[in-house]
Structures are given as structure tokens and as C-alpha cells.
Amino acid sequence: MVMGVERLARVQRAVLLASAATVTVTAWVWLMQGHHVWHAGFGSAIAMWLAMTLAMMTPAALGWLFTFASLVRTAGAMCAFAAAYFAVWLGYSAVGAGLQWGLRGILRDGGRLPPMAAGLVLIGAGAVHFAPLSQSCLKHCRNPLTYFLMKWDNGPQSGFRIGLMHGAYCVGCCWALMLTGFAMGLMNFVWMGVLTVLVCVEKLVPGGDRVAAAAAVGLMVWGLGMMLTR
């Protein structure tokens, strides 16, 4: 019986890992094949921002997915959790697309702001990291089991509710970091890769919160240098 449960858990983790990898790779391929342009219409901009969030945030959500799966072991609850989580990011994508649409008159090639504004964005993103709300959200994202032990219930809507809550915390942790695309270029795939690694490290790796703090200081220094050398 124990071996059967352990085998089921291994299969479940493998399916989750394969699904997350498929979503991540598909989003990256779609972006890199150019099925979007940074100066496109509002609907296309939302699709672009959602693809960026899928590409960057799906790997970072694996820890929560694995922990949640170990508690529920049902496909329906897992799908509800994932759907709710990315529904929150869809809302963020609409906001990002709205900013992109509003700034389209000053964005340069690749979706980059002028140096002075770009520097301010980097400084702001670094400073936001140290705000109490951001720190609280990061603490939540790094401790899924603690949250489940405190907030768990077995109701039919539990997966969707927890997915919404985690999505909100995740946006609270990363919203400013995602906006640095306006400073480095919305279509800067190297920068997207850097952000993906940084988000995964700060949420999943022991000591990742310290790495994130160092990166935030680096962003502020980089932004200041960008403004001074414009």
C-alpha cells in the first residue's frame, strides 16, 4: 500500500514536471518565433504579456504545485489551482499591456523606454523589493507548506481559492521586477531569461531571498548609472 502511494506520488510529480515544461517551452517558442510585436494592438499585447508570464513564472510555481499535489492528489483540484493562479497573472498581463499601450508613443525599438525613464524603472523595481508588502509576499512564496497548514480546507473550491491567493501573493512579489522589461526592452529575451532565473532562485533556492536582495541593490545601482550616463 505504501509503495503504491509512493509510486503514485512519483508519477504525479513527473506529470506535473512534464506539463510545466511543456507550458514553459511553448511560451518561449511562441515569443521567440515572433507571433507578436511590442507595438501591436491591445489584445495582442495582452497575449504577449501572458506568454511572458507563462514563460517566466511557471518554473517558479513548481514548488507550490508539488506541495499542493502531495495534499490533494486529484487532477481536478490541480487544474483548478493552476487555472486560478494564471487567471491572476492574466489580470496583471492586461495591466502591463495597458501600460505598454499608453507608453507606445515614447517606447523605442524593442519596447525600451528612454534612458532617464528606464533608469527610474530599475531604481523603482529595486526599491520596491525592500517594501514590507513585497517582503511579506516573498515570505509567502517561499513557504508553501506553512500556508497550507494554516489555511487548508477540503472544500470543493479549495484548489481554485488557493490558486487565486497564491497568484495574488506572487504578483505582489514580482510585479515591479516584471516591469523592468520597459527598461531593458520588452523583447529582450536575454533579460527575460535573467528574470526567470532570478525569480526561481528567490522563491525556490535556500538563501534565495538574500540573492534577491543583492539583485535589487544591483538594479538600483544599474538604474542610477543609466540615468547619469544618458
Model pLDDT for residues 15-60, shown as the tens digit of each residue: 889 999 999 999 999 998 875 566 667 888 899 999 999 999 999 9
Note the pLDDT of residue 154.
66
Nearest to 201 by CA among 63, 66, 95, 82: 63
Model pLDDT for residues 77-123, shown as the tens digit of each residue: 888 888 999 999 999 999 999 999 899 889 887 789 999 999 999 99
Average pLDDT, the chain: 88
CA distances from 138 to 38, 116, 127, 180, 204 (A): 29, 29, 14, 18, 11
3-state DSSP assignment of residue 112: strand
Instruction: State what percent of residues in the chain have pLDDT above 90.
Output: 58
Note the pLDDT of residue 84.
92
- Give the separation between CA 223 and CA 162, rounded to whole angstroms: 36
Q: State yes or no: pLDDT of 227 exceeds 50.
A: yes
Nearest to 198 by CA among 148, 147, 126: 126
Q: State yes or no: pLDDT of 178 exceeds 90.
A: yes
Confidence (pTM): 0.90
Note the pLDDT of residue 3.
45
Number of other CB atoms surrounding residue 29 within 10 Å: 12
Note the pLDDT of residue 92.
97
Q: Which residues contact 49 (CB under 8 A, 6 or more apart)?
A: 92, 93, 94, 96, 97, 100
Note the pLDDT of residue 6.
73
Note the pLDDT of residue 55.
94
Note the pLDDT of residue 116.
95
Instruction: State what percent of residues in the chain have pLDDT above 70.
Output: 92
The residue ranking higher by pLDDT, 185 or 76, is: 185
Residue type, 159: G
3-state DSSP assignment of residue 130: coil
Q: State yes or no: pLDDT of 193 exceeds 70.
A: yes
- Give the separation between CA 7 and CA 66, rounded to whole angstroms: 15
